Structure 1
Amino acid sequence: MKLAVVGGGSTYTPELVDGFARLRDTLAISELVLVDPAADRLELVGGLARRIFARQGHPGRITTTSDLDAGVEGADAVLLQLRVGGQAAREQDETWPLECGCVGQETTGAGGLAKALRTVPVVLDIAERVRRANPDAWIIDFTNPVGIVTRALLQAGHKAVGLCNVAIGFQRKFAALLDVAPGELHLDHVGLNHLTWELGVRLGGPGGENVLPRLLAEHGDAVADDLRLPRHLLDRLGVVPSYYLRYFYAHDAVVRELATKPSRAAEVAAMEGQLLQMYGDPALDEKPELLAKRGGAFYSEAAVDLAASLLGDGGSPVQVVNTYNNGTLPFLADDAVIEVQARVDKDGPVPLAVPELDPLYAGLIGHVTAYEDLALEAALRGGRDRVFRALLAHPLVGQYDHAEGLTDRLLAHNREHLSWV
C-alpha cells in the first residue's frame, strides 16, 4: 500500500509518521511518500521520519520528493496538509482583521476566508493530478478550512473526505476525565468543521448510556477551562461546544485579547524553527515533546483510522468526518459539507442519523453554511464583490462597513496568491 502526504515537509509530519509506525497493524503501509516544494524542510523531516520507522521496526519505505506527479503516482490514498503562503500568510490572516474590530483567526472569519481563497485553487489542481495518476485514490483533506476545501473537492467529483482532530481530541480528554478507554466513548458530534457541539458522550458506542451530564457535573470546571468559556455557560447549554465557538460566543472579548498579544502564527513560526533544528539531529529518532505544543494532537490516530477504513484494511466502523450532508441535517442542502459521525468503509462515509437540533445550534449552522457557499463561489470564480458578499454573510463580520474594510485588506495582503486580483 502506498500513501502520499502532500505538505510532507510540515513540522506536523513526524506526528503522522509516528502514528503510521505505531499503528501498522491497523494500516499496513509499504511505501510512504512525503511531497513538498520546500526541499530543505523536506530533507530534515524525511530524515527524522525514516529514523522513526527504523526505531519502531516498521518495514515500510519512506521517500521524499518535490515532484508532485511522481509522488502521487500509484498512491492508494493522498493526505493533504498544506498551507499556501506558509506561516507568513497565516500571521497576516490573524492580524489585519483586528484593524476592523473583527476576530483574526486562520480558519474562520475574514482570515479563514483569505485562507480559503488561497487554498481551494491549489488543492483542486493537486486533486486533478492525483486523479490522473490514480482515479481510484482517496483524498483525505486535513487542509483548513476543511469544510470549504472538502466541498470544493467533492463538487469537482473527487473521492475525498475531510478530517479534523477536534472530535478525537475531545474523545481522548473526556476518556481521561472519566477514567475509561477512549474506544469506549462515542461522541454525538454535530455541526460544521470548526463549528461543532458534543450533544452527547455515550459509553459503549452509538446508542450507549449518555454520560455527558455526569461529565459536566463532575468535571465541568476542567472542561470549561480547556474551552476558555465560563462553566455556567456549559451548564446552561448542557452540551460541549468546540473551542472554536469561543470566537462566536465571546467575540468582543477575544478581539480585545488578540490585540494585546503576539499572534498564534508568530508563536508557531518560532516553534517550527526549533522543531526543524531538532529534526536535523541525526540522533533524534522519535517525535520531540515540543511537537505536542504545535497543534494537531491525535491527528495521526484519526488519519490512520480513516485511511484504514477507506482502503478496506480495518479501521473503526464509525468515525467523525467531513462529508456531504445528504439529508442528515434537513435544514441544509444535500451538497453542504457537515462534520458528523459516519459509517466509513471502502465506499466512503455515510453519516449517522442526527436528532432534530435545537434552533440555537441549527440557526448558526445554517448561517455559517450560507457563508461557506459564498466563500467557495469566491474561491472558484474570484471577484471583489464575491469576497464582499461572503464577508457580509459571515456572522463574525455582518456589518457592511466592516465587510468593505476587510475586503480591501484581504485583497491587499493576498495579491501574490490570487491570480484574479
Structure 2
Amino acid sequence: MATPPKIYPRSEHMISRSLISDNALKVLYRLKKSGFQAYLVGGCVRDLLLGREPKDFDVVTDARPEQIRAIFRNCRLIGRRFRLAHVHFGEEIVEVATFRGLSGGDEETGERVLENGRLLRDNVYGSIEEDAFRRDFTVNALYYNIADFSVVDYVGGMEDHRAAILRPIGDPEQRYREDPVRMLRAVRFAVKLGFTIHPESAEVIPRLAGLLREIPAARLYDEVVKLFLSGYAVQAFEQLRHYRLFEALFPDTEACLAQEPDGFPLTFLAKALERADQRIENAQPVAPYFLFAALLWEPVRMRTRERIAAGQNEILAYQEAAGEVIARQIRHTALPRSVGLPVRELWSLQPRFARAQGGRALRLLAHPRFRAAYDFLLLRAETGEAEPALADWWTRFQGASEAEQKAMLRAGKRSSGRSRPRKRRSGAKAVKDAATSPP
C-alpha cells in the first residue's frame, strides 16, 4: 500500500502530555523502552484535539498480545473477535491492541472470519498503515506518537477533524455492511462531537438500516444505551429517525410515532429524552430502565387502550400489553432482566396512582419504584397525557406530614387520572396532545 502519512509535529496540534493519563503514559513509555512502537489512537486522540478530556486512553503497538503480557505483569488478555491486552492500574484500565492487518489470515484456524460481508473474527496483525485503514472513521484513525509527540494521519482524518466532518474510511456501503453498527456509531459521534456526516456516507444509511436486524440484540442494547445516555438523547433520536435507524431498533414505537391522533403529535418521548439530557448535564443519574420505559411507552399505552376498549380490566390490560411489547422488543434490542423487570413495574404503577385509596396510597408511596413511577407520571401530565391535578396531588402527598396525609386521604379529592383534551403552551405555540391515558 505504501501510502505516506501526513505527520503533524507538536507545534501543529494541541495535544499535551499533561492532558494524558499518567498510567497511559507509563504504558506508552514502557512499550517504547522495550523496543516497540507505541501510539495513542482513536477517540482519545480525537477528543484531545477538540480540547476535551477523554474517557479512556487506548494504545496501539506492533507488539503481539503475548509480548505485551510479558512486559506488563498487571496485564490480562481478553477477547476472541479482537485479541486485546488490558493493563490494570487499580480501577483504571489501559487497553492495548496490536496493529491490525487488512488482508490475509487463515480462515480455517479462525484468524479471520467473514460472513455475507460481515467481519466476525479478526486476529490478523499488520502495520500501522494497515491498522489505520481498518478503522471506522477518519477522525478515529489519528495516532499520537510517543516517540516524537507528533500526530500521524494516513486517511485525511486531521482535515476532516478541522472541518467537523464524520466520514467512514473507504467505501461507505462496504464499511457499513462489514459492521452495520457503524451506522449507529456514525450518528452517536456526529451528535456528540457536533460533526456532520459526510453526504456520500449519509446517503446510503436509510437503505442499509435494515441490516441492523442481523446484529445480536444484546449488542444493540449496549449501543442504544450509549446513544441515549450520553447527554445528546434528543439529537440522537432525531438523527436516528431521519436515517430510518430508529425504525430498525424500535419498530413498534416508530409505528406509533408515525401516527398523530386527531392531528396532534405524540410528545411524551421527546420530553422524556429532553429530561434525560438535562439530568446528565446536571451530573444526575438516569437509569437505563427509565429510558427503555419511555422508549416503549407509546406501544404499551396504545395496546392498553385497545384492550380496555375490548372490555378488559385496566390493571390486567397494562400487564398484558407490557408483556406483549417487551416480547416483541427483545427481538431487536435485548433487555437484561435488571432492566426488563423494573420497566414492567414502572408501567404497572401508572394506573395505580388514580386508584390508590386509603392504605393503598401509603403502600404505593412505599413501593421501591415509586419515585421513578412518579417521575414518569409527571412527564405524562406535562405532555397532556395525564391530569395535572393527579400529579399535583401526589407531589403534595409525598411531601406532607403523616397528619396531613391522613387529611388528604379523608378528603378523597384526587383526579380520576383521565386525560381530557386540553391545550398546553410550548414557547409561543400552543400544542394539544390528544393521546389520552386509559380511563
TM-score (norm 2): 0.25
Larger radius of gyration: 2
